[in-house]
Amino acid sequence: MAGTFAIILTFATFITGIFWFLEKFKWKPARQRKVEEVRKQCNGDVDGKILAEVGKPKGWVESLASFFPVLFVVFFIRSFLFEPFQIPSGSMMQTLLIGDFIAVQKYSYGLRDPITNTVLIPTGHPKRGEVAVFKHPNVPQMDLIKRVVGLPGDKIVYLVKEKKILIYPHCQTASEDCVDQQKTEPLDLHYTEPTISDWKEVHQNFKSNPNFYTVEQYKKEGIVDSDSLITLNIQIQQETLGDEPHEILTTLGTQEDPNYFFQQKGQPKATWVVPEGHYFMMGDNRDNSGDSRYFGFVPEKNFVGRATAIWFSLEKQPDEWPTGIRFNRIGGIH
């Protein structure tokens, strides 16, 4: 289902549209006829102020009708072309940072009903490596943004110690050779050697989500480790899922617990075969992302659109006020 704003916008557009059409094709012509009748009754000898008063619409009708063109444009753009989103967490660093405002192309995966998200006109399907917004499979009112890792039929293996993924394509419909990892080769994701990044991950006792600082910001803040504050270094490396490489982050000194992963029936831990009509999504900040490893597969009907560009960016931390504007962040997303 759509979010509250989408429902309100749709309802407001519909109601103001009714008043706009009634005003344009019924009430306004009726007033004009009444003006002509008054003019004829007075043989044209009538004060213009009187005619203006006769032809004047009710204030509330005029206001409601005047809102419709603006609401319709906003409704059409937001429902079928582009929708703005703000990044609230660091799960997609460093592709997307906390405080980035992004444009999501709504028609990438089909023109959809703005209320039910049902595809009205198919236009395409999610591709491996794309950054996409989708409805959480278990909490439909929650929008998430992750990268498309697994397509229908793919076998995904997450190597917990190495913090890498193996993708065996077309396993669900292929022969048993695909199931046996020793008899087939996974996709070459062109991993580069990890290096220490310019990011610091800072955990505070009273905050559920960590803060992320560049080394420069970290020094400027004068942060010092204590009983209530822990700093971790972050590694960076490149991974290629689609046509272009992207950077992923992994936190030194931490490791995901596969016991908390989504367990697919018939598969060992940290291994999944993507069902038909579903996708496997992961964040680029691998140790700080609640994704398909935890909540499972995302149905294609849950997709909202493809993230295409950053149009504005605020320097901020989770649940804190912004401290500046990052103009250098504006641009495309890959």
How many structural domains compose the chain?
2
Domain match, 155 and 237 both? yes
**Assigned domain for 235 exists:** yes
Q: What is the pLDDT of residues 85-121, one digit of tens each?
A: 999 999 999 999 999 999 999 999 999 988 888 899 9
Give the DSSP letter string of 227-254.
Answer: TTEEEEEEEEEEE-SSSS-EEEEEETT-
Q: What is the pLDDT of residues 220-278, one digit of tens each?
A: 888 888 878 899 999 999 999 988 999 999 999 999 999 999 999 999 999 999 999 99
Helix (H, G, I), strand (E, B) or coil at 314: strand
State which of 15, 46, 81 marks the end of a domain: 81
57-61, 149-153, 172-176 — which is least confidently predicted? 172-176
Domain match, 154 and 289 both? yes
CATH number of the structural domain spanning residue 322? 2.170.230.10
Domain match, 52 and 145 both? no
How far is residue 320 CA from its own chain's centroid?
Answer: 21
Give the DSSP letter string of 56-122.
Answer: PPPHHHHHHHHHHHHHHHHHHIIIIIEEEEE--SSTTTTTS-TTEEEEEEGGGG-EE-TTT--EEE-
Say which residues have a Cβ less than 8 Å from residue 94's Cβ, sequence separation at least 6.
Answer: 197, 199, 236, 247, 249, 284, 285
Compute the distance between CA of residue 230 and CA of residue 36 in angstroms, rounded to an integer.
80
Domain match, 25 and 141 both? no
**Assigned domain for 135 exists:** yes
Average pLDDT, the chain: 89
Domain match, 148 and 70 both? no
Q: What is the pLDDT of residues 164-194, one digit of tens each?
A: 999 999 886 544 446 555 557 899 999 999 9
For 134, counting Cβ atoms within 10 Å of its Cβ (0-12 exposed, 13-18 middle, 19+ buried), the class is buried
**Assigned domain for 120 exists:** no
Q: How many helices (H) and strands (E) does the chain have?
A: 6, 18
Domain match, 69 and 146 both? no
Domain match, 136 and 69 both? no
Say which residues have a Cβ less than 8 Å from residue 156's Cβ, sequence separation at least 6.
Answer: 149, 150, 165, 166, 167, 271, 272, 273, 274, 280
Just list the catalytic residues.
91, 146
**Assigned domain for 124 exists:** no
Q: What percent of the chain has pLDDT over 90?
A: 68
For 90, counting Cβ atoms within 10 Å of its Cβ (0-12 exposed, 13-18 middle, 19+ buried), the class is buried
Range of the domain at 181: 131-332
